[in-house]
Chains A and B, each alone.
Chain A
Amino acid sequence: MENEQIKNSIKLEYEVIKDDFSRAGEASSNIKKVLRQLGIDSKIIKKAAIVTYEAEMNIVIHSAGGKITVFISPDSIQIIAKDKGPGIKNIDRAMEEGYSTASNRVRELGFGAGMGLPNMKRYSDEFYIQSKEGESTILKMKIYIN
């Protein structure tokens, strides 16, 4: 995103904690409320809500913790999810619907069906992922407002 655009954006930032299932979803819930207060179209809000919630759950389930940052500008909502690792071994496989490395405990919660990253890509207008085994994962997703 260009610097000029960031300057004119509203920035929201949330810490997401590893394995904290009782609070998982709070960040996405807050982001959704802010988008609603800004009067953004409900279909756009829903896309942003799904994307942030899947990203938040991924950080809780798969990472050592991380952060979700959202920039809201008049043209778009940009969601950046960055975790502290341990990274994704094979991004191509992780992007396949149905491929999952989640534990049984996570599956019992209704997640780990291998739909998280495909869902994020499906509902984003721009989708970028950077990850390597042993490093952090960075997701950048943009949803156009108009």
Chain B
Amino acid sequence: MKINEIMSILEAECLTGEHLLDDIKVEAAFGCDLMSDVLAFINGKTLLLTGLINPQVIRTAEMVDINVIVFVRGKKPDKEVIELAKKNNIILLSTNHILYTACGILYNNGLKGIPIRGGE
């Protein structure tokens, strides 16, 4: 799914990475506030949805090559975190939906969860 499409269906605001919006697509999504779970399960071109806005979210994304993060519940990180994302070419979006709703909207529009052991 294209990032522009994700922005539009989640009515999301782009906090950084506007110049990358046309180039990046995601194939699956993972919604979670536990960064070790992200490190354990993520593979491939995955969208991360989270309510956390600290620098560790960006570092975690960097480690597993996540290019797009959606902050839910209208959360926006501080400048330092946005700068860290910029440095790593990570797109940051912010939506007012809660995590559950944002995931549901994306799922209904055809973006599936990541496949994990024994799961979908």
Contacts and interface: CB of A to CB of B under 8 A. Distances in A.
Interface of A: 21-22, 24-25, 28-29, 32, 42, 46, 49-50, 53-54, 57, 109-111, 113-116, 118-119, 122
18 contacts: A21-B55, A22-B80, A25-B55, A25-B56, A25-B60, A25-B62, A28-B63, A29-B59, A32-B62, A46-B64, A53-B63, A57-B56, A109-B35, A111-B35, A111-B36, A113-B36, A115-B36, A119-B40
A119 B63 CA distance: 13
B39 interface: yes
B107 to A, nearest CB: 22
A42 B55 CA distance: 23
A53 B60 contact: yes
Nearest to A48: B63
B114 to A, nearest CB: 14
B37 interface: yes
Contacts of A122: 40
A109 to B, nearest CB: 5
Contacts of A53: 39, 59-60, 63
3 closest residue pairs by CB, A with B: A25-B59, A115-B36, A110-B35
Contacts of A22: 55, 80
Interface in B43-87: 50, 52, 54-57, 59-60, 62-65, 80
A50 B39 contact: yes
Contacts of A114: 36
Contacts of A42: 65
Given A53-B59, A119-B40, 17 more contacts: A21-B56, A22-B80, A24-B59, A25-B56, A28-B59, A46-B63, A46-B64, A50-B39, A53-B39, A53-B63, A54-B36, A110-B52, A113-B37, A115-B34, A115-B40, A118-B40, A119-B39
B62 A24 contact: no
Contacts of B36: 54, 110-111, 113-116, 119
